[in-house]
Structure 1
Amino acid sequence: MDKSFHMPIQLKITLLSFVIVAFSILIGGIFIFGNIVSIREDEIGKRSMITAHTIAELPEVQKLVRESEGWTKLNPMIENLRKIHQADYIVVLNNQHIRYSHPVFSQLGTQSKSNDESAAFAEHEYLSKASGELGISVRAFVPILDKENEQIGVVLVGNILPTIPELIMDLKGQIAIILLLTLLFGVCGSWLMARRIKKETFQLEPHEISRMLVERTAAFNAMHEGVIAIDNNQTITIFNEKAKQMLNISGAVIGKNINDIISDTRLPEVLDRTSPIFNQEISVQNRNLLSNRVPIKIADKTIGAVAIFQDRTDVAKLAEELTSVKAFVEALRVQNHEHMNKLHTIAGLIQLGNLDDALQYIFQITEEQEELTRFLTKHIHDDNLVGLLLSKISLGRELGIELIMDKHTKLDRFPNDMDHHDFVLIIGNLIENSFAAFKHLSEEPKQVYLSIYQDEQHCQIVLEDNGSGIPEEIHKDIFEYGFTTKGAEGSGIGLYLIDQIVKKANGEMSFTTRLNEGTSFFLSFPMHDIEENQND
């Protein structure tokens, strides 16, 4: 017993979706924060540049930057402006790079030796980034020009860029709402999708579906019948090993179109039907198959079709057993009874001393049997059919029915697509039905006439009786599977099987009947395939 733990698929899908959503949020957050940092950097740079321009254009700044030790008056003013403009630091330099304002008081009056301020003393304004003890800062450089547009100094305004943790803290409310809503909808959506999948898989878990698939495949391959199934697109979903053997197909066929594998397939016909087709004899891949074809439906919607079929050779043997083997057994019983009667007759003649009459009687019955046997073996070149006819003639004598063979009977070979199994089934069932037609009749004589004739073009079978006939109201039903007037279990397949053989061999069958006067059946089969005749 498998005791391994299997996580439910609903939980698997929910966890997987949760991880995917969380990962997507993480990746998206990285890009979003990158954009936020870039936007914040541009915003700080613009603000720094505006502040630097404002300070550089102040007359007081332009005046004090020219004075010796003007920083004593300029630095307090710049510090107030820094607070107003919310700058982190502001540095004012004269043309000699002397600091006239600085956040560190001790730096006032000292010379700046920074490398990135040289361009500002060439009347260029620009932004730059620098890393310091407080972090990375964006600095705006703007030259100070007097009224004659001569440069007299430089204003440097710097602002520290916020760090990622600081940005997260600033946006923690929005981030929390986004995470909560995203995960909530992601988990709920995953749960609903998982529940839907469970419903569509009949509440089965993946390991259960896998086990069922393995078991189903093993069961199909163990079947004696061929099994083929297709979906609505005529794509093969099942093709067991027995079907491959019957149709001489090798290799993988699952997932391929059935028309590419079996060009003369009849299975797609069922997709357009609302009812199954049972026990139909069809020809596929030059093989005669007895097929059951059933549409596969879910909620009254056809989603595919399945065919279960047998090689007709096995079925024909079974049919022969049903129609002729029982007849042979019955014939042996009848012959035994008939011989007992004849022996009693001979014994009685001997006891009466009529030896010549007894001998003559023996010669007569022997000659009759030998003559009948010679006639059948000469005109019918198939021992199975000869044996069937001998048994039916003997059975007829037992029942008081005379089975008359046409003296022109001839059968050298069977038509295409037919064999001795077909003929045994056809003739055996026709004779049995004729015998049954005398069941409730007492009039004499009771006769059944049988003619089998075959030439180069056609093979014809004619059977006539003077029995009770077939009522008109059941004419259309007598060839239906299971229909019978005998009331016996297992009856109702004889004429159905005959009709299937006639259709398979492209033959024709008709009958005429009159109540209490008898019935005549006429069957005709072409000796060659229709296509062969057309080519000829």
Structure 2
Amino acid sequence: MYIIAKKIRINLLTQLTLLITFVVFISTFLVSTLFSGMIDEIIEHYIGQEAMTVAELTANNNTIIQAFDERYPSEKIQAVAEHIRKTTGADYVTVANLNGIRYSHPNPNYIGKHTVTSNDATLKRHESVIYKGNGISGPAIKAKTPIWNNKGEVIGVSSVGFLVNNIEKQVFEYRVKFIKLSLIPLIFGVMGAIFIARRVKKLIFGLEPEEISYLFREKEATLESIRDATVTVNIEERVTSMNKRARELFRDHSLVVGGIIKNEHLNELIKEVINKKAGLANKNLLLGHQLYILDLSPILKQNEVKGIVLTIRTISEIEQLTTEVSKIKTFSENMRAQNHEFLNKLNTIYGLLILKQYDRAREIISSEVKERQDIISFLVSSVKDPLIAACLLGKVNRSKELKVSLHFEHESNLTSVLTIEDSKNLVPIIGNIIDNALEAARVKNGMNGQVKVSFTDLGKDIIFDVEDNGAGVQKEMASTIFIDGYTTKNGENHGIGLAIVKSSIALFNGEIYIDNSPLGGARFTIVIPKRTSLKKEE
């Protein structure tokens, strides 16, 4: 049974064509039926009025009235009545006296005989009547009116009739014409039905409703199973859909279906995609206190952007997938920086040895070993948190690569041990501020760039001071530089570091201050209140 049902299943194109054709046919049929009924009523009314007009014309004819006084009235009345009948197109014009004896009839054989229908209403009540009835000629629409003489007396009756058969022939001709005209909209309706059906079929890519339904469920299941957060946005920057991962990720309602996107940086990226009609990949996005990696792909229709698909991944997910690669890359970069630096020094030592300047060679070697040992010893003794110490040591290597002097205040001390979560949140703050300071010092002073770092946890706060001899920060820009996307650097994925700093500091309910540094550049002061989770190293 299923196989038979499947074989006789009608496709969507045929269903649409049949449906529209049926609607057009029914509409045409109903209109035709209504119009046909109206034609019957109109013609019947019109013929009745025409019959009455002919009857009154006959009743008012002077020749007929005067002929009633003659010995043989029918001789004159028949001729006049036939003339009127032929002139008006009536099927019969009959004149009868008060006794119902005919003085005229289209068939002369009926002259002198009594009328079949009663004339009482006309002769006794002196009324003109229109009715449909049967006579000796057959069914007809009739009109009867009294004939008055010059003395005001009723002397006879004038009867005029139009045969129903002849009327129906005329109505049939009208109906044939109307049906022919009705075929025109019916034909155009069928053609329009086929065109619309094909158009609909094209718009839905030739798919059947069952296929569309299955495809929708398939795509929905596919989106729900994707581990990346997927969000679709229309050109009005309103969220239209989100998959399961996106709903889990944005439980804080920063993105909800039907909501307007309020993040300025994200709005700028969406407008860029709309203007360029091309996607963007690996864009940094800060939502709340979390940093995400974002891909944007336009939904195009006839080369116009109708919406945008956002694929969002958290930094932690990416870090989890690329931990080993990141470690190798970091190690490689550190080795490259150290290799470049030590290669130069080895070349210098080699030259001194060739020149037999052994004392100078020993001095350089001792100085290098002492500098490295001093920095490591200082960080180990002064910074008890291993993540922060590792971050500061990494910035030392970075400064040597940039050839910028990085100096730690020897009185600095950080004896508090932070939780793993607090350490992870504090490291990006310190790292981004020092990176910016190194870059600012290098851009303005080159190899004469200087950065000074000091820190302490005495009292109720952890305080970091980072100073440089760069270009500094103007007072009116002190708040602008923390806006997501703001940057003075060229290239992509800049303008996110200080936004992360601001967001991370907010997690600690801390503060950051910007002032002028004695070195000539800017001084960033980071104040992080101690929590109950921070313990003093015994």
Do they fold alike, i.e. is TM over 0.5?
yes
Change (3 A) 1:433 1:62: closer
**Aligned counterparts of 2:175 and 2:408: Cα–Cα separation in 1:** 107
**Aligned counterparts of 2:430 and 2:133: Cα–Cα separation in 1:** 110
8 Å contact from structure 2 (residues 85, 93) kept in 1: yes
> By how many angstroms is 1:306 displaced?
2.7
> By how many angstroms is 1:221 displaced?
1.1
> By how many angstroms is 1:155 displaced?
1.3
For 1:185, give the aligned amino acid. Answer: F
8 Å contact from structure 1 (residues 291, 307) kept in 2: yes
Superposition map of 1:443-482 within 5 A = 451-452=454-455, 460=464, 462=466, 480-481=491-492
For 1:258, give the aligned amino acid. Answer: G
> By how many angstroms is 1:144 displaced?
0.3
Say yes or no: does 1:172 pair with 2:179: no
8 Å contact from structure 1 (residues 99, 112) kept in 2: no
Stretches of structure 1 that go unaligned for 5 or more consecutive residues are 333-364, 437-443, 466-475, 482-492, 511-519, 529-536
Say yes or no: does 1:57 pair with 2:60: yes
Equivalent position of 2:310 in the other structure: 307
> By how many angstroms is 1:146 displaced?
0.4
**Aligned counterparts of 1:509 and 1:98: Cα–Cα separation in 2:** 128
Say yes or no: does 1:148 pair with 2:151: yes
Change (3 A) 1:423 1:298: farther
> By how many angstroms is 1:27 displaced?
2.4
> By how many angstroms is 1:41 displaced?
2.5
1:350-389 CA distance string (max 9 Å, x none): xxxxxxxxxxxxxxx9999887545211xx4xx5434555
8 Å contact from structure 1 (residues 44, 159) kept in 2: yes
Match of 1:281 among 263, 268, 285: 285
Question: What's the secondary structure of 1:118's corresponding residue?
Answer: helix
Question: What's the secondary structure of 2:283's corresponding residue?
Answer: strand
> By how many angstroms is 1:525 displaced?
5.8
1:407-465 CA distance string (max 9 Å, x none): 42549699xxx9544544566689999999xxxxxxx9xx9975456898996563889
> By how many angstroms is 1:219 displaced?
1.6
Equivalent position of 2:294 in the other structure: 291
Match of 1:94 among 93, 97, 101: 97
**Aligned counterparts of 1:34 and 1:509: Cα–Cα separation in 2:** 92
**Aligned counterparts of 2:89 and 2:390: Cα–Cα separation in 1:** 120
Match of 1:182 among 167, 185, 192: 185
1:230-257 CA distance string (max 9 Å, x none): 323455432222222222289xx86xx4
> By how many angstroms is 1:109 displaced?
3.6
> By how many angstroms is 1:326 displaced?
6.3
8 Å contact from structure 2 (residues 433, 466) kept in 1: no
> By how many angstroms is 1:52 displaced?
0.7
8 Å contact from structure 1 (residues 92, 100) kept in 2: yes
Change (3 A) 1:317 1:92: same
Equivalent position of 2:229 in the other structure: 226
Change (3 A) 1:92 1:213: same
**Aligned counterparts of 1:78 and 1:7: Cα–Cα separation in 2:** 69
Change (3 A) 1:182 1:134: farther
> By how many angstroms is 1:17 displaced?
3.5
Sequence identity percentage: 22
Q: Number of residue pairs matched? A: 447
8 Å contact from structure 1 (residues 320, 421) kept in 2: no
Equivalent position of 1:204 in the other structure: 206
8 Å contact from structure 1 (residues 117, 141) kept in 2: no
**Aligned counterparts of 1:22 and 1:41: Cα–Cα separation in 2:** 28
**Aligned counterparts of 2:18 and 2:194: Cα–Cα separation in 1:** 9
Equivalent position of 2:25 in the other structure: 22
Q: TM-score normalized by structure 2?
A: 0.61
Say yes or no: does 1:239 pair with 2:238: no
Equivalent position of 1:31 in the other structure: 34
Question: What's the secondary structure of 2:151's corresponding residue?
Answer: coil
**Aligned counterparts of 2:291 and 2:168: Cα–Cα separation in 1:** 79
8 Å contact from structure 1 (residues 230, 305) kept in 2: yes
**Aligned counterparts of 1:32 and 1:413: Cα–Cα separation in 2:** 96
1:79-102 CA distance string (max 9 Å, x none): 564344332333434334445456
For 1:88, give the aligned amino acid. Answer: D
Please identify, of 57-66 and 71-80, the stretch whose mean Cα deviation from structure 2 is larger: 71-80
8 Å contact from structure 2 (residues 138, 163) kept in 1: yes
**Aligned counterparts of 1:402 and 1:265: Cα–Cα separation in 2:** 37
Match of 1:408 among 392, 412, 423: 412
Say yes or no: does 1:375 pair with 2:389: no
**Aligned counterparts of 2:498 and 2:218: Cα–Cα separation in 1:** 39
Equivalent position of 1:498 in the other structure: 497
Equivalent position of 2:483 in the other structure: none
**Aligned counterparts of 1:496 and 1:81: Cα–Cα separation in 2:** 106
**Aligned counterparts of 2:415 and 2:46: Cα–Cα separation in 1:** 107
8 Å contact from structure 2 (residues 122, 157) kept in 1: no
Equivalent position of 2:160 in the other structure: 157
Stretches of structure 2 that go unaligned for 5 or more consecutive residues are 336-371, 440-446, 470-486, 515-520, 530-538
Please identify, of 228-237 and 136-145, the stretch whose mean Cα deviation from structure 2 is larger: 228-237
**Aligned counterparts of 2:399 and 2:88: Cα–Cα separation in 1:** 127
Superposition map of 1:386-425 within 5 A = 386=389, 388=391, 405-406=408-409, 407-410=411-414, 420-425=423-428
For 1:283, give the aligned amino acid. Answer: L
**Aligned counterparts of 2:526 and 2:286: Cα–Cα separation in 1:** 17
8 Å contact from structure 1 (residues 66, 152) kept in 2: no
8 Å contact from structure 2 (residues 123, 154) kept in 1: no
Change (3 A) 1:202 1:113: closer
1:326-368 CA distance string (max 9 Å, x none): 6589999xxxxxxxxxxxxxxxxxxxxxxxxxxxxxxxx9999
